[in-house]
Amino acid sequence: MAKIIGLPKLSPTMEEGVLVRWTKKEGDAVEVDELLAEVETDKATMEFRSFDRGVLLKILVSEGDTLAPDAPVAIMGDAGEDISDLLAQLAAPSVSPTSAQPASPDRQTAVALPSPEPIAAPAASSGPAEAPTGRILSSPLVRRLAREQGVELTALRGTGPRGRIIKRDLEQRPAATPSVARAGRMPARVERASATRRTIARRLTESTQSIPHYYLTIDVDAAPLVDARRQINAELADEGEKISLNDLIVKACAVALRRVPEVNVSWVDGDIHAHQVVDISVAVAIPDGLVTPVVRDADKLGVLELSQQVRELAGRARDKRLSLEEMTNGTFSISSLGMFGIESFTAVINPPEGAILAVGTLREEPVVQGGAVVPGKRMRMTLSCDHRVIDGAVGARFCAALKRLLESPTNMLI
């Protein structure tokens, strides 16, 4: 029996997704767990696999469409099956939760809950259609997008059934010409934020508004760290391997978290979660934002193995090919802007983690040693702490432990 297939929620924080590519076409046979499409979520480009066996009778959305979870995306059924009733339901102003058959609960098959984008051919209209009550005909998704873009739906001409305003009408509306353009100045270019960027914006806002941050800064003598890296890389030269200063910093943080476990904590719904593992999230810049792949059990890894994992995770993060498991449930974060020459900065905590370390660039400057001014190497680091779970004295003990490890790298081996 034919059924409407909805877009599944592919990550816990997914509020919408962009259907990047269909891997099946109408009329294709589909097996259980076979790849149907690729969807860009707030986390990565993820696989949308079929929960049922059948034939893909109708594709309801186009590649590039932004969709809410559970939005209807396709109709599956038997070859040659009549789907006119389902198409009529989709063309109606709303779709009842009972109008689509639920799929296997253990696979979280999505059904048509919100009002979908219409499928039927557009009806001629000179303006937006109104329901008998005077309400403009449009889906919840279109109304939300219109609010975000500051667009009045009454100003649009609907091209959907009965003049219904659909997503395409928003995207193809004529651009407004601000008064500054008449003065010869170019108006701002408005771009639709990606799902990743919108989620970053939401989570950072929540973090800064709900987490009481405080900051502790240390200035580290980095000369021993630079020497240790040089010696290690000399030993690894024959193997074609090398490590970075950041790899040593990740390792030092992992060891420091074992020595000051009170920082390896999270505040979750009024409870303090003291983590028994050290899983470090390493911030990686991607074109439309930032992701944090997680190095599991970082305290148990040798520096070379840790370095290899960081490089491999960072590469797949930039290609948006990380799995959900690989970028969630860290216990502590590290963010570095040293490669951009930034000497010092503060980072926003990645909830529900309790702290994040912001690492600045390696500075060459004169320092005083034994009463004499000599060339030196320094690095400034700032720890952002959640004051609900990490008191100032605890944060200070962690910073002191980290400084000792970085200034005497052999202590990481103890």
Residues known to be catalytic: 387
What 3-state DSSP class applies to 364? strand
Tokens of 237: 């030269």
How many other C-beta atoms lie within 10 A of the C-beta of residue 202? 13
How many other C-beta atoms lie within 10 A of the C-beta of residue 65? 19
* CA atoms of 174 and 164, how far apart (whole Å): 18
The DSSP 8-state label assigned to residue 136 in this structure reads B
* Cβ neighbours for 373, distance < 8 A, ≥ 6 positions apart: 366, 367
The edge-to-edge listing of strands for the beta sheet with 54-59 is 3-6, 72-77, 54-59, 29-30
Residue from 265, 243, 253 nearest 218 by CA: 253
Buried b (16+ CB within 10 A) or exposed e, 69-81: bbbbbbbbbeeee
Q: Amino acid identity, residue 278?
A: V
* CA atoms of 74 and 4, how far apart (whole Å): 6
Alpha-carbon radius of gyration of the chain: 27
Using CA atoms in the order 126, 129, 133, 136, what is the torsion angle rounded to 10 degrees?
-120
What 3-state DSSP class applies to 292? coil
- Work out the angle between the directed axes of helices 245-259 and 223-236 (0-180°, nearest 10): 110
* Cβ(17)–Cβ(30) below 8 Å: no
Tokens of 356: 């994040």
Determine the distance from the C-alpha atom of residue 189 to the mean position of all C-alpha atoms in its chain, rounded to a whole number: 24
